[in-house]
Amino acid sequence: MYVLTLKNRLNEFRAVQRLRELGLLDEGLLPLVEVVKKDVAFDKLVDPSTGEYVKVNKPYKSGKRKGQPRMCTVDDLETERDVTLDNISDAFAGKKVLVDFFRCYMPKYKGADPSKCKLVLKMSNDLAFYEEAVKRLADYRDLIPVISVIDELSNLSPKSLEALILELRKTSSNKPVAIRISTYEGYEHILSDLLGPDDYLIYDINETPPASRIEEFDELADLHIAAHSVLLCSPRKRDDGNKVYEDGCFIDNSHIRDFSEYGFEGVGDYAGLRDSLPPRPGAGATGRALALFYDGSSNAFKRYINPDVKKGQSGYDDVVKQILADRGELERRAGECAVLSEIADHAAAGNYGGWQTWIVYTVVRYVQQLYLAHGNSYNL
């Protein structure tokens, strides 16, 4: 089982759409979506009996008449509707999806802009708000609730975690639940007694090398937890800028090869992306254009980079030339790699893409390579 881990951002969901088109959302792939932002839709109010906009009292927001109601039509009034979970369900077309309202210890995300991480901060610091969000997942048949236990945060106590699991069982008795945790200590009873064979244990080691946690994995195995167990890793360091890759590509992707030896049934990662949050203003205006191409057969990345920091994303013209010169090495037969075909087609029209384009390319290339390297499956 491969757990594709993505945040609910535009270009990561564009990659999902491309994977759907390629038929790569196979049953052996289980998506994990980290909700880091709220998606909203705006609806104008219409009287269904007349088809006319409803007249409403809407207070003035400024000026001499501030706070006084006025009559207006809904041409200028829209109602906001939260469509975050609807969008996730639609993106995967009814496929089973793990959904995690993302919580984290913000100091680990040094370049993140707090003003763009309001939902993450609220989820991380307000347990009652977080629990209510998790409970909303009961309304979606295809969305599996993930309950996160984060070491550095004020956390759900074992007793509170047990109560939340039992409440989820009550509201959606046939739906599995998942617990995402970075250390089992203090929660042994919950993991062993409350998780059944249809549930999921996501053991999140983030950026730490798996080989450094072997003793811990052995102790976890001794708990004999009935749930599907997934080792979740983030091998590409979030603080590594593109400059790091000038001298080579040192990403430890051993989790893909070794997870079953550590006692896990499945493995997950960010498909060649970093576990990152929105950066502060001005980030990305300049920098080295970088492309990371994963090779499934060797379980390694090859990097292509333009070292001219001043060119920024316009430096992808040179990166694309390097990639196309290596095309014979990057696919086993011509046309096999969907990303290379797109790159070649766009380059012929003088379009080399930018930072956002290459997010899509990185994810699609990684997932397709995993699939092809394991006999057109995710039986890793």
Scanning 28-95, the segments in alpha helix (DSSP H) are: 84-91
- Position 283 pLDDT exceeds 80: no
Please classify residue 189 by burial: count the beta carbons closer than 10 Å to its beta carbon, then call 0-12 exposed, 13-18 middle and 19+ buried: exposed
Whether 244 shows a pLDDT value over 70: the answer reads: yes
Predicted local confidence at residue 151, as pLDDT: 81
pLDDT at 49: 66
Residue type, 274: R
Please give the Cα distance from 242 to 249 (Å, whole number): 10
Mean of per-residue pLDDT scores for the chain: 89
Of 1-15, 111-125, 152-166, 253-267, give the lowest mean pLDDT range.
Answer: 152-166
- Torsion sign across C-alpha atoms 187, 192, 198, 201: positive
| Model pLDDT, residue 69 | 46
Q: Residue 154: which pLDDT band, with cuts at 50, 70 and 90?
A: confident
* pLDDT tens digits, one per residue of 312-351: 999 999 999 999 999 999 999 989 999 999 999 999 999 9
Q: What is the mean pLDDT of residues 288-300?
A: 96
pLDDT digits (tens, 9 = 90+) for 193-215: 999 999 999 999 999 999 999 99
- Tokens 């052996």 sit at which residue? 28
What gap in Å lies between CA 182 and CA 202, rounded to an integer? Answer: 8
CA atoms of 298 and 64, how far apart (whole Å)? 70
pLDDT band (50, 70, 90) for residue 72: very low
Q: Return d(Cα 41, Cα 59) in angstroms, integer.
A: 22
Please state, in angstroms and rounded to a whole number, the distance separating the CA atoms of residues 362 and 343. 12
pLDDT of residue 46: 62
Q: Is the dihedral of CA 17, 19, 21, 23 positive or negative?
A: negative
- Residue 48: pLDDT band by 50, 70, 90 thresholds? low
Q: What confidence tier does 41 reach under pLDDT thresholds 50, 70, 90?
A: confident
Burial (Cβ within 10 Å: 0-12, 13-18, ≥19) of residue 228? buried
Q: Which of 241, 237, 245, 220 is nearest to 305 (CA)?
A: 245
pLDDT average, residue stretch 48-73: 53
Which amino acid is residue 374, in one-letter code? Answer: H
pLDDT the model gives residue 47: 63
Q: How many residues does the chain have?
A: 380
H helices of 22-157, in order, are 84-91, 118-125, 127-136
pLDDT at 4 over 70: yes
Would the pLDDT of 185 be above 70? yes
Quote the pLDDT of residue 66. Answer: 52
pLDDT tens-digit profile of 296-312? 999 999 999 999 999 99
State residue 2's pLDDT score: 98
d(CA 324, CA 330): 9
